[in-house]
Structure 1
């Protein structure tokens, strides 16, 4: 079974965990938000009296209700088995100071007969020739180990039985047993006897998942598990609750004065969930920001998502600045971007959040431009000139690369590798990319202006900066002239996305917002927006990325729809902006997560839940609506 939808996400600074809406554990990522993902499946079930196994996440008699504890990353899933009238409250959280996932299960007998309960865990880890998983069960814990990590599953309760090998052959009966304590199996199981649960009686069991980095051997793991077992996890859940509530309070910086309504509840859900999601996407050692929690490790539908794209991260850092996450933003630019910049000044397509190059298929020139734009955009919030000074050389290298690219395009030299567009699908010359370079040049001019006092005593540098500034101004004129001459199609009476296929694309709006190449009410731009509405707007009010977009069925995108809202705010068409905004509210997930795409028929997330860029666009639009007094 494919597991594409991360309906709920929890974690701390080193461990990220995702679930289905029925409480099934999908993924555990450690020690960073993007690497490594351990879980193939982690199934929990119960045997009641003489029944076979009843999986908590998948039984015809189960009813579900899932919710976060308000203002936290503590997840509750209520499960009621209507046949046995057994209620289970599953509570999942990751400790703040301990890298331990806690899975607490409370069983409530709402029947009028005794229920004999056995609790089973069947865990399979991702295994490969170069990363083979084996199982080991001793001393009341299950170790699933590979060369450099061991995933440990245990409880303060005693294990009543276990099965290292061939679990799938027997577990459906609700009984497991194996003579072996160790074996070369990637899936193994353990069982706990919870004994008789009388009518109206309650019982609890806590399951802990801890990942060891195999630096101290079995004895070290044994000691660490014994230490963890002594922790009072009532204190840990309280500490976790307090931490997230304080974190939320510290980052709620928008003045939301909205009348009570269903819309207000949705806005608050998305707003608060964005604040609680972003720290789970950040690598706190490098500043790298993952685009989303992974949803397709096997590459069945896409090229994967749990990487750091510089462009996506720049949009996210803009939202982070609004949310008072300035330290995270600064580290992204000062540490991650510096570390990942190539010697020639460019950035490649995407990276692991630790800064290592991720699988790629071609560079996107707008990513290099976006970093320079983002550096100055962050400065506008902080007014920290030291930040500009620290990133000056990085930006200058990037500008140098961009200048070579622009010369190659405008003078038709064809010496440089073609760039992909921001959707990573088409190689060529793109209006959005050229607009991003225009904005990068403007940002560089502004950076030089802010730092001019730094060059007063260095006449050589002063003259160099003066000459460079003048050249950038001239190049900005050339870029705008190139855009007006080459990207406007008189037949369609519209700008088009590139020099070849002449398609309408939502990214055409980038020339207005955020890059300010064109004025929002220029005649040619108004014509373009009319074409966008004719070709990209769907019957539900959401917008597709571009004409004939067939990726995942050609759904409307949250990013595209909020981009349209952003444009309408620029033209002061607030009714239209709110219509786009409300489409996103109506189609958000149950916990306030925003997806990449929306299923038009169901008005539900259709792909990648909790996309950082979608959440960023929401925060950016929300702030603008508040500033304009339109909320």
Structure 2
């Protein structure tokens, strides 16, 4: 089985005519397009040289966001008048494949996806030189920057759609990464001082007494999404002592010896298994740090999790944090998501990096 080829085929099959990527074509709750997942799938396709697929996603994302500009303006008017928005006032974290709003409940107020799509668009333009796409996307970029500038310090759901009352370090990193990527292309699109405010807040409020980045402004645990603070978003450097301490704690608390990576130690979603995409992220980090053999070991573990059709799941149930929760989730939503397009995208990302070390 060629996992790279099967990953490409699965992603191609999961891209709608609109350009949107479905999160998972078979899982009951993932038949939508997330900005976060989609941007990472697009980046994976960019890493594989399949820029047409990635471009189609960014065209969809820009068109979708502009379609909902009235919703953003109404929200900003409420904030300007000192009113507390309703949960339904915020821009959603997921859309239908045609770019409409979903009608069923979801944990929608999530900011990280909005930073992520900005980062991904800027990377796509940098890789391809497609300035026409950037120019066409400026209305959606402006809209997104306004949204993030108004709300970046607000508690919101994290990338796992949990903890609405917290300010999440990895969310701040995604916002920072998206805005700094936009500023690198056109500094006039990002308000002066905003990036510095976000970084200062993070280092003042999201640092544990032991000197590592913590999960939220109040939760001293680590979360594997903290890897994003260094790669790719650059809130801290991968060799900064702060990140070195963070990485060491992630390895101690969340890495299964010879296996994969948990989201966080208290995870109970489907029992809290090892996540494919986070294992790939740790491999990416190891490549950045020159720990190539360890990166290859993690990728071998990932490849061993694919089924006969070359499909990778969201998470693996071999070493669950608390298996007693698995039946509850299975009864609610069925078996864990497989294939998950984001898992396959991260395979493409890491293999593109490892190919440079052959």
Q: Does the alignment reach a TM-score above 0.5?
A: yes
Tell me the CA shift for residue 328 of structure 1.
2.7
Tell me the CA shift for residue 339 of structure 1.
2.1
Larger Rg: 1
Map of 1:228-627 to 2, 5 A cutoff?
Answer: 266=1, 269-284=2-17, 286-296=18-28, 304-341=29-66, 342-343=68-69, 344=72, 347-358=91-102, 359=104, 360-406=106-152, 409=153, 418-427=155-164, 428-448=166-186, 465=188, 471-472=191-192, 474-491=193-210, 493-600=211-318, 607-627=336-356
Are the counterparts in 2 of residues 486 and 499 from structure 1 also a CA contact under 8 Å?
yes
Tell me the CA shift for residue 532 of structure 1.
0.8
Aligned equivalents of 2:91, 2:137: Cα separation in 1 = 15
TM-score by length of 2: 0.85
Are the counterparts in 2 of residues 310 and 347 from structure 1 also a CA contact under 8 Å?
no
Deviations 1:395-427 (A, max 9, x none): 011111111113xx2xxxxxx6x3110000111
Backbone CA RMSD of aligned residues: 2.0
SS in structure 1 at match of 2:94 = coil
Are the counterparts in 1 of residues 26 and 338 from structure 2 also a CA contact under 8 Å?
no
Deviations 1:551-600 (A, max 9, x none): 11111010111111111111111122112111101222122211111132
Are the counterparts in 1 of residues 261 and 278 from structure 2 also a CA contact under 8 Å?
yes
Are the counterparts in 1 of residues 23 and 32 from structure 2 also a CA contact under 8 Å?
yes
Aligned equivalents of 1:556, 1:530: Cα separation in 2 = 18
Tell me the CA shift for residue 351 of structure 1.
1.3
Aligned equivalents of 2:176, 2:283: Cα separation in 1 = 23
Deviations 1:607-628 (A, max 9, x none): 322110000111000001112x
Q: What is the aligned residue count?
A: 322
Are the counterparts in 2 of residues 542 and 561 from structure 1 also a CA contact under 8 Å?
yes
Aligned equivalents of 2:120, 2:315: Cα separation in 1 = 25
Deviations 1:221-245 (A, max 9, x none): xxxxxxxxxxxxxxxxxxxxxxxxx
Aligned equivalents of 1:525, 1:580: Cα separation in 2 = 20
Aligned equivalents of 1:535, 1:280: Cα separation in 2 = 36
TM-score by length of 1: 0.49
Aligned equivalents of 2:101, 2:111: Cα separation in 1 = 16
Aligned equivalents of 1:590, 1:421: Cα separation in 2 = 33
- For CA contacts below 8 A with separation 6 or more, give which structure has more relative contact order: 2
Are the counterparts in 2 of residues 347 and 368 from structure 1 also a CA contact under 8 Å?
no
Deviations 1:36-66 (A, max 9, x none): xxxxxxxxxxxxxxxxxxxxxxxxxxxxxxx
Map of 1:175-190 to 2, 5 A cutoff?
Answer: none
Aligned equivalents of 1:280, 1:351: Cα separation in 2 = 18
Aligned equivalents of 2:231, 2:61: Cα separation in 1 = 26
Are the counterparts in 1 of residues 169 and 215 from structure 2 also a CA contact under 8 Å?
yes
Change (3 A) 1:277 1:478: same
Tell me the CA shift for residue 601 of structure 1.
6.1
Change (3 A) 1:295 1:441: closer
Tell me the CA shift for residue 378 of structure 1.
0.8
Change (3 A) 1:528 1:601: closer
SS in structure 1 at match of 2:33 = coil
Tell me the CA shift for residue 347 of structure 1.
4.2
Of 361-370 and 304-313, more deviation after overlay is shown by 361-370
Are the counterparts in 2 of residues 558 and 614 from structure 1 also a CA contact under 8 Å?
yes
> Which 4+ runs in 1 deviate beyond 6 A?
none
Aligned equivalents of 1:622, 1:380: Cα separation in 2 = 20
Tell me the CA shift for residue 291 of structure 1.
0.6
